[in-house]
A and B are shown apart, each in its own frame.
Chain A
């Protein structure tokens, strides 16, 4: 059984999340005090040097993002924790918040010092309403103990919209509006919440900060893959013997995650496909299992690390059926603002259903691929761009699944496609 490297989850099982003294006994808030002794510029440089990259899916260099916010004009700035965690198959942020909320608070306070913010928000997905108590209790305790030092954090809830995991949609939702993304630029670090400089960071990203400040940038940068150092919490679902969450260095291969930690497939069935990164991730065949799971290696292979969800399908699964269900998810979650996503997601579902029911032609396959490609290059936000990826990668790596559904029917008459 492979061993985890617990940095973000180092306190799991050792502390009572309702007791700040437990967290403090494990070293909690020491990094924050150290950070406050640094100048914001030095702190930002340290985080830049650590090469900590966003763990929500976008993978942007955290320190660089902070630098933009710090340099932006304006007296009011905000630190926003993206706890919307809507990616199916992902629950790592919930584990962090349930078990070690002070670590998250500490991370937010470190960011606040770096960008000179006085107000923070935890945007908590509505489905995690039950976490409000543990979070507000921890914030109250931290405030009373003096750790927040003028920086305050409010918990605000989402209400059931996957799109609110997108940072500008999240900001719109915080402003009390429909969670529809904004076009970028401008980017939140310059114009975010209430048009002010705002850092939106994922829970796991923020939860990495105390260790980085404590042990230093070069320590962190030396862990895992050089271009995307540190650890990543993967959540393993699907046809797997040991479903669960595992914090591992980022250069762990997918094979190690599935077989080393996951224990392989129940019944020792053959692995058909793995979807990495969440429901918007790529389906990969067994021959890509040795890809290291770090962000850039995945991108090179045409994949995305995403949220770190790993979803395993054994040989008995109907990939076309799974892909159709996934595209139906995107149809449900599309915000509706832009043409390609609003109109495209139901069209993808329609075409896949037609194909699955044996009524499709090669023309329909071709159209689905063309439409999917167009969505990836013309959508307003990441949801529309990522939505077709499961279908496109499944078509690419498992073509037979699709082509066996379409008979030798020729293209429909009169179509120029």
Chain B
């Protein structure tokens, strides 16, 4: 779906630009310059302001990402529960460092702050889907399921 169509669906919602950005990010992985200009047009704000919104929120990026975004929680409860080991294991599995994307563009690895799944720590998410309380050894099968399916777990 074209960015302009997505924007059009939300342009009647006062303040709806964040919802529009969510959907654009869901579909395209990031907010391109064209998307931001389109959003400015649709919501009657300046491009500068739309860009200011795009770059404020952690869930939005103005740079392209891999197909699946893996985020490891590093907030205090996960930190003491072993997020560092989780990061090491993911870096090894994927062969990239935090902030990088695999050469095949499949996975981007990032850190995040608390995602509210502290019932079982440490936590990481893939495309927003939480994986709480796993050990580093359990990572492999989880990642493989994304390679197999090739699609996001929530079906979009």
Interface residue ranges, A against B (CB under 8 Å) = 85-91, 94, 125-130, 156-162, 173-179, 194, 235, 237-239, 243-245, 275, 279, 309, 311, 313, 317, 322, 325-326, 329, 332-333, 335
* Min CB gap A146→B, angstroms: 25
Q: Are A160 and B14 in contact (CB under 8 A)?
A: no
Q: Which of A127, A158, A177, A326 contacts B76 (CB 8 A)?
A: A326
| Of B88-96, B98-106, B113-121, B140-148, the one touching chain A | B113-121
Residues on A with C-beta less than 8 A from B59 are: 126-127, 159-160
Q: Are A317 and B80 in contact (CB under 8 A)?
A: yes
| Secondary structure call for the A interface | mixed
- Chain B, residue nearest A162 (CB): B113
- Chain A, residue nearest B153 (CB): A130
* Min CB gap B57→A, angstroms: 4
Alpha-carbon distance A177/B18, docked complex (angstroms): 8
Among B17, B56, B116: residue with most chain A CB under 10 A? B116
Alpha-carbon distance A233/B74, docked complex (angstroms): 23
Residues on B with C-beta less than 8 A from A177 are: 15, 49, 52-53
Alpha-carbon distance A376/B104, docked complex (angstroms): 47
Q: Any chain A CB within 8 A of the CB of B41?
A: no
Q: Are B56 and A87 in contact (CB under 8 A)?
A: no
Alpha-carbon distance A261/B120, docked complex (angstroms): 16
Q: Which of A128, A130, A161, A332 contacts B154 (CB 8 A)?
A: A130
Alpha-carbon distance A173/B154, docked complex (angstroms): 26
Alpha-carbon distance A333/B114, docked complex (angstroms): 11
Q: Are B118 and A157 in contact (CB under 8 A)?
A: no
**With A91-B118, A317-B80, A332-B113 known to touch, is A325 a contact of B74 (CB < 8 Å)?**
yes
Alpha-carbon distance A393/B15, docked complex (angstroms): 39
A–B pairs, 12, beta carbons within 8 Å: A88-B76, A127-B115, A128-B116, A159-B18, A160-B58, A160-B59, A162-B113, A238-B77, A313-B80, A317-B80, A325-B74, A325-B76
A-contacting residues, B1-52, CB 8 Å: 14-19, 21-22, 43, 45, 49, 52
- Chain A, residue nearest B17 (CB): A176
Residues on A with C-beta less than 8 A from B58 are: 159-161
Alpha-carbon distance A175/B17, docked complex (angstroms): 9
Q: Are B116 and A174 in contact (CB under 8 A)?
A: no
| Secondary structure call for the B interface | loop
**With A91-B118, A91-B119 known to touch, is A173 a contact of B18 (CB < 8 Å)?**
yes
Q: Any chain A CB within 8 A of the CB of B97?
A: no
Q: Are A125 and B80 in contact (CB under 8 A)?
A: no
Alpha-carbon distance A176/B42, docked complex (angstroms): 13
Q: Are B118 and A161 in contact (CB under 8 A)?
A: no
Q: Are B75 and A279 in contact (CB under 8 A)?
A: yes
* Min CB gap A269→B, angstroms: 13
Alpha-carbon distance A158/B59, docked complex (angstroms): 9
* Min CB gap B156→A, angstroms: 11
Residues on A with C-beta less than 8 A from B49 are: 177
Residues on B with C-beta less than 8 A from A162 are: 113
Residues on A with C-beta less than 8 A from B81 are: 237-238
Q: Are B21 and A159 in contact (CB under 8 A)?
A: yes
Q: Are B80 and A239 in contact (CB under 8 A)?
A: yes
Q: Any chain A CB within 8 A of the CB of B60?
A: yes
Q: Which of A94, A244, A322 contacts B80 (CB 8 A)?
A: A322
Q: Are B56 and A161 in contact (CB under 8 A)?
A: yes
* Min CB gap A64→B, angstroms: 28
Q: Any chain A CB within 8 A of the CB of B128?
A: yes
**With A129-B128, A159-B57, A311-B76 known to touch, is A90 a contact of B116 (CB < 8 Å)?**
yes
Alpha-carbon distance A313/B45, docked complex (angstroms): 48
Q: Are A176 and B53 in contact (CB under 8 A)?
A: yes
Alpha-carbon distance A91/B15, docked complex (angstroms): 27
Alpha-carbon distance A177/B116, docked complex (angstroms): 24
Q: Are A176 and B43 in contact (CB under 8 A)?
A: yes
Q: Are A179 and B56 in contact (CB under 8 A)?
A: yes
- Chain A, residue nearest B116 (CB): A91
